[in-house]
Amino acid sequence: MNKGVLYALGAYFLWGLFPLYWKNLQDVPPVEILSHRIVWSLLFLLGFLAVKRHWGWLRPALGNGKILLSSLLTAVLLGSNWLIYIFGVNTGRIVETSLGYFINPLVSVLLGMIFLREALRRGQWLAIGLAALGVLYLTVSVGALPWLSLVLAFSFGFYGLIRKTAVLNSQEGLTLEMGWLVLPAAGYLLYVQAQGTAAFARNGLTTTVLLLLAGVATAVPLLLFAAGARLIPLATIGFLQYLAPTLQFLIGVFVYGEAFPPARMVGFSIIWLALALYSVEGIVASRRQARLAKCAGTCG
């Protein structure tokens, strides 16, 4: 198997198992989990960059107002996304969080059209329309808007939109984003530690170790994804990305026994149909473009 595919599979597999990780910390407040995730992620990334001796990007980035502003925006979006996800997992809404990441690719396409003026093909319009119909059906049948799913999808969609035009790569960008968030995160951790309400070193060895390893759990799949994305086509990445929410969905239903009544199944099925259409349409379009490029190279 292609090494890039293995890297990408590893990344999405680990992301798919995240509910198991955060669920073991369900007695810890989500803000405290998030704060540990930020602090230990930054330390891990700094150690990784130190081993690689990859510091040349830092000074130009810190001296560039545009980079600093965009990284602040992405830091807020990413931190919000992480917090909502942890909250969703630890309040028994894993299925709802998985829905957010199922519809995220379609949200990203829509945002690209609105903000980057990217033209949508007919199949993409149909996929977005079907997904919207699925969300509408879930809203009417359940009697409430799936706000948690939509916040996850749109926060990560806007994050991807800004990062798409960023100068820094994923490792550098995440390091700068964690740099923005580390002071409030560390301040919060020091505060709860001083108040005697912190879970760290008080809620047992397992909790302490899991909080310590939150940075590794965050950074490793990201590094795997970055390595894989350089080696395989975007269409392959687009297909593999559904592994993570699929695993999350299965964990929610079959491991933690979350309710999945017929009404929710119909809504999810409509969205899955939209994703299948989106994936097939993307593969067909990529092959068509490849054939046209080959013809242009040989016939021109």
Which of the four pLDDT bands, split at 50, 70 and 90, describes residue 24?
Answer: very high
In a domain, 300, yes or no: no
Report residue 299's pLDDT band, with 50, 70 and 90 as the boundaries.
low
Specify whether the CB–CB gap between 174 and 219 falls below 8 A. yes
pLDDT at 71 over 60: yes
The candidate with the shortest Cα–Cα distance to 236, out of 15, 9, 13, is 9
Q: What is the pTM of this model?
A: 0.91
Mean per-residue pLDDT over the chain, rounded: 90
> How far, in Å, CA of 68 to CA of 70, rounded?
6
Q: What's the rounded Cα separation, in Å, for the pair 185 and 32? A: 8
Please tell me the predicted confidence (pLDDT) of residue 257: 96
Q: Residue 27, class by beta-carbon neighbours within 10 Å (0-12 exposed, 13-18 middle, 19+ buried)?
A: exposed
Inside any domain, residue 47? yes
141: confidence class by pLDDT, cuts 50, 70, 90: confident
- What total number of domains does the chain contain? 1
Task: Report pLDDT digits (tens) over 144-171.
Answer: 889 999 999 999 999 988 988 888 888 8
Of 41-45, 170-174, 296-300, the one with minimum mean pLDDT is 296-300
Over 90: is that where the pLDDT of 5 sits?
no
In whole angstroms, give the CA distance from residue 163 to residue 19: 25
Q: Give the per-residue pLDDT at 297.
A: 61
User: 208-249: per-residue pLDDT in tens?
Assistant: 999 999 999 999 998 888 888 778 776 677 778 889 999 999
Phi-psi category of 117—alpha, beta or left, where left has phi over 0 and alpha has psi -120 to 50? left
Residue 16 · residue 236 · CB < 8 Å: no
Kindly list the distances between the CA atom of residue 53 and the CA atoms of 57, 76, 150, 183, in Å, as whole numbers in the listed order: 11, 28, 39, 24
Q: Which of 63-67, 113-117, 195-199, 268-272 has the lowest mean pLDDT?
A: 113-117
- Of 47-51, 156-160, 288-292, the one with minimum mean pLDDT is 288-292
pLDDT of the residue at 1:
57
Amino acid at 258: E
Residue 19 has pLDDT above 90, yes or no: yes
Residue 266 pLDDT exceeds 90:
yes
Rounded-to-integer distance, Cα 185 and Cα 192, Å: 11
Its domain, for residue 148, covers: 3-295
**For 235, what's the count of Cα atoms within 13 Å in the CB-facing half-sphere?**
13
- Segment 84-131, tens digit of pLDDT: 999 999 999 999 999 999 998 889 889 988 998 888 888 889 999 999
166, part of any domain: yes
Residue owning tokens 């130190």: 50
Nearest to 175 by CA among 48, 36, 30: 48
Given a cut of 90, is residue 74 above it in pLDDT? yes
Instruction: Taking residues 55-72, report their average pLDDT.
Output: 94
94 domain residue, yes or no:
yes
